[in-house]
Amino acid sequence: MSYLSTEQKPKMPITLSTLQKFKANGEKFSCLTCYDASFAAAMQTADIDTILIGDSLGMVVQGKSSTLPVTVADMTYHTANVARANNHALIISDLPFMSVATLDRAIEASLAVMQAGANMVKIEGGSELCDIVSVLSNNGVPVCVHLGLTPQSVNVLGGYKVQGKTDDEAQKLLDDCQKLVQAGASMLLLECVPSGLAKAVTDSVPVPVIGIGAGVDTDGQVLVMHDMLGVYTRKPAKFVKDFLSDKDNETHDIVGAFKNYHMAVKNKTFPTAEHSF
Annotated catalytic sites, by residue?
191
Three-state SS annotation for the chain? CCCCCCCCCCCCCCCHHHHHHHHHHCCCEEEEECCCHHHHHHHHHCCCCEEEECCCHHHHCCCCCCCCCCCHHHHHHHHHHHHHCCCCCEEEEECCCCCCCCHHHHHHHHHHHHHHCCCEEEEECCHHHHHHHHHHHHCCCCEEEEEECCHHHHHHHCCCCCCCCCHHHHHHHHHHHHHHHHHCCCEEEEECCCHHHHHHHHHHCCCCEEEECCCCCCCEEEECHHHHCCCCCCCCCCCCCCCCCCCCCCCCCHHHHHHHHHHHHHCCCCCCHHHCC
Query: Rounded to whole angstroms, how far apart are CA atoms 59 and 157?
Result: 19
Q: What separation in angstroms does the CA of 42 have from each of 60, 85, 246, 254, 273?
A: 18, 9, 18, 8, 29
Across 207-242, b (16+ Cβ under 10 Å) vs e yields bbbbbbbbbbbbbbbbbbbbbbbeeeeeebbebbbe
